[in-house]
C-alpha cells in the first residue's frame, strides 16, 4: 500500500483492485491507469497495475510511470479471479471481460473510437449487449463516452464519471515567463489529411508537428507556440489540447468525437470548425487572427484553464465515490452521469 504520510484511510469496497494496462507504454491511457492505482492505494485500498503483452518487454513499467506504482505490478494471467476482487478494464482491452468468471468488472471508457474486439459481432450496440451482463459498472472519461453508452441502451445509473488529469508538469506552468512565438503546433498522427490542406493554403504561417519528441520537448514547444490545431478524431477527452491550453496556446479544433461536446472541449464555438474544405478560409483566418491578436484571444481560455486545474481534485473525489465507503458512501452517486 502506497500511503502518503498523514492521510486518513478510507474503507475500500474491494479486497484487491487490478487496473489493466499494456506493458511499458506511456500515453494518456497508461498514465491515467497508473495514476488510478496510485490514488486507490493512497486512499487505503490495495491496487495493482496488471500488464498485458509482458512477453514483449524485459521491463514492464515505463520509468516515467514507476512513481505511481512502485512495485504494485502483476500480469493479466496472475489476477485472482474471486468475487471480492475488482478488475478495471479499459475499452481497448474489452475482450478480457470474457476471460474471467467471478471477479467483478468495471469497464473504463477512456475512448469510444478506439474500441477493438475479437468478439464476432456486427456492431457496437450488439457488443454492448454481449458484455453488459458481465460488467458491473461503466466508467466514462468523457461526456462523449457517456452519450455513446446511453444511446446504445446502457442505463445511466450504471454509468459513473472517472476522467483523468494532467501531470504536474502542465499544472505548474508559468506561462508569463515564456516568450511566445508565431508558431502553430499540430499532432501529425491526427487528422493529417485535412491538416495538410490547411498548411498548403497557409504558406505564410509556420506550422510545427509534434513528432519524434520527448515529453520535455513537447512541453517546451507548446510553451513557445501561440496556437494548437487539432482536426482529428477525438476518441475521448484528449490530453494534448488540454496541455496546449495550460501552456498558453489558443486551441482550434474540429467537431469530431468529444470535440463536439462542450463538457469535454469547453472552448468558445468560434474556435471549432467542421473539417470541410469549404471552411479552410475561415479556419486560416481564425489562425491568423489568433497569432496577430494573441494576447486578447488567449484570455478567452482562462475558464478552460481553471477547469483543467481542478481536474486532479475531481479525479480524487471520483475515486473515493466509486471505490470506497466512509464519507464517500454518502455521496455514492454524486458523480453519476445525467
d(CA 40, CA 145): 23
Question: Any long-range contacts for 130-134 (C-beta under 8 Å, 24+ apart)?
Answer: 131/94, 131/97, 131/98, 131/107, 134/97, 134/98, 134/105
Residue 98: its pLDDT value, please?
86
Percentage of the chain with pLDDT > 70? 85
What kind of fold does domain 168-308 have according to CATH?
Rossmann fold (3.40.50)
Element at 105 (helix H, strand E): strand 104-109
Residue 333: its pLDDT value, please?
47
d(CA 326, CA 240): 35
Residue 126: its pLDDT value, please?
73
Residue where the block lists cell 468560434: 270
Confidence of residue 258 (pLDDT cuts 50, 70, 90): very high
Using a 10 angstrom Cβ sphere, with 0-12 exposed, 13-18 middle and 19 or more buried, the burial of residue 102 is: exposed
Size of the chain in residues: 338
Residue 336 has pLDDT above 50, yes or no: yes
pLDDT digits (tens, 9 = 90+) for 144-194: 999 999 998 899 999 999 999 998 888 887 776 678 999 999 999 889 999
d(CA 51, CA 64): 16
The reported pTM is 0.88
CATH number of 17-165+310-330: 3.40.50.2000
pLDDT digits (tens, 9 = 90+) for 148-157: 999 988 999 9
Evaluate whether 17-165+310-330 and 168-308 have a shared fold: yes
Q: Which of 97, 86, 91 is nearest to 319 (CA)?
A: 86
Residue 328: its pLDDT value, please?
41
* Cβ atoms 44, 10 nearer than 8 A: yes
**89 - beta bridge partners?**
107
As a whole number, the mean pLDDT across the chain is: 88
pLDDT digits (tens, 9 = 90+) for 116-139: 655 555 666 777 777 888 899 999
Residue 61 has pLDDT above 60, yes or no: yes
Higher pLDDT, 285 or 74: 285
Residue 3: its pLDDT value, please?
52
Residue 104 has pLDDT above 90, yes or no: yes
Domain layout of the chain by residue ranges:
17-165+310-330, 168-308
pLDDT digits (tens, 9 = 90+) for 207-228: 999 998 988 899 999 999 999 9
CB atoms within 10 A of CB 285: 11
d(CA 316, CA 313): 5
Collapsing DSSP to helix, strand or coil, 12 comes out as: strand
Amino acid at each position: 500500500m502506497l500511503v502518503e504520510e498523514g492521510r486518513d484511510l478510507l474503507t475500500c469496497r474491494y479486497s484487491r483492485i487490478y487496473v489493466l494496462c499494456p506493458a511499458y507504454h506511456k500515453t494518456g491511457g497508461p498514465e491515467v491507469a497508473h495514476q488510478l492505482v496510485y490514488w486507490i492505494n493512497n486512499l487505503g485500498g490495495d491496487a495493482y497495475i496488471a500488464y498485458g503483452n509482458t512477453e514483449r518487454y524485459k521491463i514492464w513499467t515505463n520509468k516515467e510511470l514507476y512513481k505511481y506504482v512502485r512495485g504494485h505490478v502483476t500480469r493479466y494471467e496472475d489476477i485472482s479471479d474471486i468475487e471480492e476482487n475488482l478488475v478495471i478494464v479499459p475499452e481497448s482491452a474489452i475482450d478480457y471481460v470474457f476471460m474471467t468468471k467471478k471477479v467483478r468488472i468495471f469497464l473504463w471508457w477512456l475512448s469510444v473510437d478506439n474500441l477493438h474486439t475479437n468478439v464476432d459481432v456486427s456492431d457496437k450496440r450488439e457488443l454492448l449487449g454481449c458484455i453488459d451482463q458481465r460488467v458491473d459498472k461503466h466508467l466514462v472519461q468523457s461526456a462523449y463516452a457517456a452519450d455513446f453508452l446511453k444511446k446504445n441502451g446502457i442505463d445511466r445509473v450504471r454509468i459513473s464519471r472517472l476522467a483523468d488529469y494532467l501531470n504536474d508538469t502542465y499544472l505548474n506552468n508559468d506561462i508569463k515567463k515564456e516568450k511566445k512565438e508565431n508558431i502553430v503546433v499540430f499532432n501529425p498522427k491526427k487528422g493529417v489529411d485535412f491538416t495538410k490542406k490547411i498548411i498548403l493554403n497557409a504558406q505564410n504561417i509556420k506550422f510545427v508537428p509534434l513528432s519524434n519528441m520527448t515529453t520535455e520537448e513537447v512541453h517546451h514547444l507548446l510553451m513557445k507556440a501561440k496556437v494548437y490545431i487539432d482536426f482529428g478524431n477525438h476518441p475521448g477527452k484528449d490530453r494534448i489540447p488540454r496541455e496546449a491550453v495550460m501552456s498558453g496556446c489558443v486551441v482550434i479544433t474540429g467537431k469530431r468525437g468529444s470535440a463536439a461536446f462542450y463538457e469535454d472541449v469547453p472552448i468558445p464555438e468560434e474556435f471549432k470548425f467542421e473539417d470541410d474544405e469549404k471552411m479552410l478560409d475561415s479556419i486560416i483566418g481564425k489562425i491568423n487572427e489568433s497569432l496577430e491578436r494573441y494576447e486578447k484571444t488567449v484570455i478567452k481560455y482562462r475558464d478552460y484553464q481553471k477547469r483543467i486545474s481542478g481536474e486532479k481534485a475531481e479525479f480524487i473525489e471520483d475515486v473515493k465515490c466509486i471505490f470506497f465507503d466512509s464519507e464517500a458512501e454518502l455521496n455514492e452517486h454524486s458523480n453519476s452521469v445525467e
